[in-house]
Structure 1
């Protein structure tokens, strides 16, 4: 395939033979080959260019809501939240659409390119093809089943995409609302590694450490990571984009739901939001079953590590990273977030007082310096240091408490 220019104005570039060797290592090969999209060098199967032009031309509706993420950043969680808030806020069990799996209710516009990877794709996409035949009679599959299904869906649509903002229609943020979810890159890498091991479109065979370094070198599909996140971060003040993180959702889901409720202009009640929080919790979603068909999974790996719903926690990277890999990723993160103002939580924060929720705390001392700091919190840091306790994040209650008591309560809680 020669160089080509997309409707978005981006040019494509074929990788060198050496790059192609590295990209194909330990992964199922794409039948159409791979291509980089300049200038950031996004890595996709070559067939993606066909679907990107279709996506760029897709007619946008003013009530469309896109959920855009780098893969394995909380997409499925946010998809379900948005779909329920927009299309079934009362959680009516008789809602006909709810009988469909989440992937079908809120389709990934890049789904077709994923299944260019392996010969069984046609069989494993059977359920997608059946829906396509039902809702898109007379249309051509080669033009992208996912995008055409999305085009046929009633409003308001919740549309999932792992493509960066700049590859969408140029009017996206003028005409629609976008919810962007980022996840700290350490946990994202662990989750993406497990995902590409379990799905047939990945079947990754290498180690996690090798995988993490390949992400940093942009040798894994969908990479590079940082331009994807930073494009959205720089638009965080746009009234049509809501930027959040997986970690903020884990820390305070009700606060996030209130923000999203306001962003969408839905005016749902507090009681409705509480029910939505429970319905979309990790345990509830896991109980309802996988959001995609099990036919897409490598059954042996799925039985050992689970499918889409694996752990649903933050900080899992600590169970996998060697000190050397952690140092490398720390430097990679520092190099890329410098002067951007973007900060992540890495799951190593703790509450100095156990058994108390975050809302009842007063002063905060964070890993990037104090937000507010009084003599009590300063003294607690000194006490912790003297007692050989590593403090990454301290939350000190507004009520008067002895720092030694706080520290002992923390130790008992652990």
Structure 2
């Protein structure tokens, strides 16, 4: 069995043909196969191993902000909030960067793993490919399109990732950010040695299941064909890309008191977005006014973002199914799982959640 050691200290294990047959036949088949990242067993296309060391050794900047989530947990919403607060808090309509799609101005450093070759990337990510040609002249595509765009972006960067915390740079959460407690910092020289922030958004895993299922059905690189119940059980077993779910969330939850990390939930954002914006404003050290925050809340509302259109290229998804399923901005509600789960699946998931949150203190709203 092919294995390799990553800079993070994790070991990768290539799935055999027999192991691949045991997981869903509906799972998109990548040319490179699939690997588990041990010891937690995260499942990714094998091509991911080409990029993980580069992501782990990625040079951090004093004002970087990472948005890290398990997929379909409110990532795009928070991503837009962070980008606007940091790079265009007055919502200047003449801001040139705002003319770019969100996934171009705030890239997902793990997205390269979905593309087995350069031609596929050029087809499905036209705006990304154009950005790469413009800002990464002379660089190699095989070294990671999204990673190298992120490296070229101006500060402050808002960097998106669905990889768990421990697969990122080991220093990401080790230093106190200079703006957290400004009054307690003695000198500018001392202040400058503290940097980097992570915003982690979790979501009720039942709603994650529904949203992730719809997403996997409409994007061309997945084209999932199974039922929701089959999909949910694969997620619970950890037999789908990005899984397992709980080690991802609980790694961040255990860091919730780290001054470099802000942990929130999709449900808290839906219940009190202004309260969340005030907390994030303080976390970022931005000192934005209440009026600025109010306008940002409106600009990043579900209806406003849906009206502005999809933040990704059309070639990336099945357009007919995308329209039928509601696109990226499908419903924007909490508790939608109640419209989709059978009583049997609900019972299974309740037990799965209880088993994994026991003694952690983590509670998800709208879970019953």
TM range, smaller chain: over 0.9
The structure with the larger Rg is 1
Alignment of 1:114-129 (within 5 A): 114-116=114-116, 120-129=120-129
> Counterparts of 2:236 and 2:61 in 1: how far apart (Å)?
36
Alignment of 1:351-370 (within 5 A): none
Answer yes or no: is 1:197 the counterpart of 2:217: yes
What is the TM-score when the length of structure 2 is the normalising length? 0.92
SS at match of 2:198: strand
> Counterparts of 2:306 and 2:270 in 1: how far apart (Å)?
16
What is the TM-score when the length of structure 1 is the normalising length? 0.82
Answer yes or no: is 1:225 the counterpart of 2:242: no
Q: Which residue of 1 aligns with 2:308?
A: 288
Alignment of 1:131-146 (within 5 A): 131-146=131-146
> Counterparts of 2:24 and 2:337 in 1: how far apart (Å)?
25
Question: CA shift at 1:14, angstroms?
Answer: 2.0
Give the number of the structure with larger relative contact order, counting CA–CA contacts within 8 Å between residues 6 or more apart. 2
- Given the superposition, is the C-alpha separation of residues 168 and 257 from structure 1 closer, same or farther in structure 2, using an over 3 Å criterion? same
Q: Which residue of 1 aligns with 2:180?
A: none
Report Cα offsets for 1:313-341 as digits up to 9, x if no partner: 00000000000000000000000000000
Larger CA deviation: 21-30 vs 272-281? 21-30
Which of residues 208, 214, 218 in structure 1 aligns to 2:228? 208
SS at match of 2:78: helix
> Counterparts of 2:77 and 2:23 in 1: how far apart (Å)?
29
- Given the superposition, is the C-alpha separation of residues 117 and 21 from structure 1 closer, same or farther in structure 2, using an over 3 Å criterion? farther
SS at match of 1:47: helix
Question: CA shift at 1:308, angstroms?
Answer: 0.7
Q: Which residue of 2 aligns with 1:50?
A: 50
Paired residues, number: 348
> Counterparts of 2:349 and 2:18 in 1: how far apart (Å)?
24
Report Cα offsets for 1:188-210 as digits up to 9, x if no partner: 00000000001001100000000
Which of residues 261, 276, 279 in structure 1 aligns to 2:299? 279
Considering only aligned residues, what root-mean-square deviation do their CA atoms show, in Å? 1.4
Question: CA shift at 1:302, angstroms?
Answer: 1.0
Answer yes or no: is 1:256 the counterpart of 2:276: yes
* Structure 1 residues not aligned, in runs of 5+: 349-414
Answer yes or no: is 1:303 the counterpart of 2:323: yes
SS at match of 2:293: helix
> Counterparts of 2:171 and 2:94 in 1: how far apart (Å)?
36
Q: Are 1:297 and 1:307, in contact at CA under 8 Å, matched by a contact in 2?
A: no
Q: Are 1:14 and 1:34, in contact at CA under 8 Å, matched by a contact in 2?
A: yes
Q: Which residue of 2 aligns with 1:327?
A: 347
Report Cα offsets for 1:29-54 as digits up to 9, x if no partner: 11111000000001001111111100
Q: Are 2:126 and 2:313, in contact at CA under 8 Å, matched by a contact in 1?
A: no
> Counterparts of 2:211 and 2:145 in 1: how far apart (Å)?
27
SS at match of 1:4: strand
SS at match of 2:68: strand
Q: Which residue of 1 aligns with 2:181?
A: none
Question: CA shift at 1:125, angstroms?
Answer: 2.3
> Counterparts of 1:253 and 1:191 in 2: how far apart (Å)?
20
